[in-house]
Amino acid sequence: MKDNLPITLRGKQALEEELKRLIREERPSAVRAIEEARALGDISENADYDAAKERQGWVEARITEIQSRLAGAEIINPAELRSDKVIFGASVELNDVEEEKKVAYQIVGPEEADIKAGRISILSPLAKALVGKKKGEIAEVKAPNSVKEYEILKIYFQ
């Protein structure tokens, strides 16, 4: 992943909270699990030990990943942005031209994307199609079997 990808202020705070939890809770828990598995005896055929070591590896990798992401992140507060075009951090109201259905999304960093919460990654095909467009323009997104069109109804920042 590129270190210079933007992240919203909310996304930064969520990563910081996850990092604190991993360091304060998950890391010590993984170490305890390894110690408990070692106490059971022979570790060469100890499934608990293998699972605990695997968990510890995942925790350490995630800690490193978050620290790297935060160190190289460009933090953006969408509430401070102004633009008549769709940019990172913008919230957009769209009309699915084919289905005549309105949808709304905020364009965010990859780690904070959550389609159910209305946040799409800047790297997603829809966001890529929207960036640079103005209210009233049509964004075309290539779907597996067709091209979806979305009319931009509103662009705002919050």
Chosen domain end from 44, 76, 108: 76
Top-ranked range on mean pLDDT: pick from 48-52, 70-74, 115-119: 115-119
Q: Is residue 1 part of a domain?
A: no
Same domain, 87 and 105: yes
Q: Where does the pLDDT of residue 157 fall: very low under 50, low under 70, confident under 90, or very high at 90 and above?
A: very high
**For position 2, what pLDDT does the model report?**
46
* Containing structural domain, residue 68: 6-76
Same domain, 92 and 150: yes
Q: Where does the pLDDT of residue 85 fall: very low under 50, low under 70, confident under 90, or very high at 90 and above?
A: very high
Nearest in space to 139 (alpha carbons), one of 117, 158, 120:
120
> Average of pLDDT values for 127-140?
96
Same domain, 21 and 67: yes
- Measured CA to CA, the distance from residue 154 to residue 136 in angstroms comes to 8
Same domain, 64 and 96: no
Q: Which residues contact 38 (CB under 8 A, 6 or more apart)?
A: 49
Domain holding 150: CATH number? 3.10.50.30
- Number of domain units in the chain: 2
- Measured CA to CA, the distance from residue 144 to residue 66 in angstroms comes to 33
Helix (H) or strand (E) holding 101: strand 101-108
**For position 90, what pLDDT does the model report?**
96
**For position 82, what pLDDT does the model report?**
92
pLDDT in tens, 6-48: 999 999 999 999 999 999 999 999 999 999 888 877 777 778 8
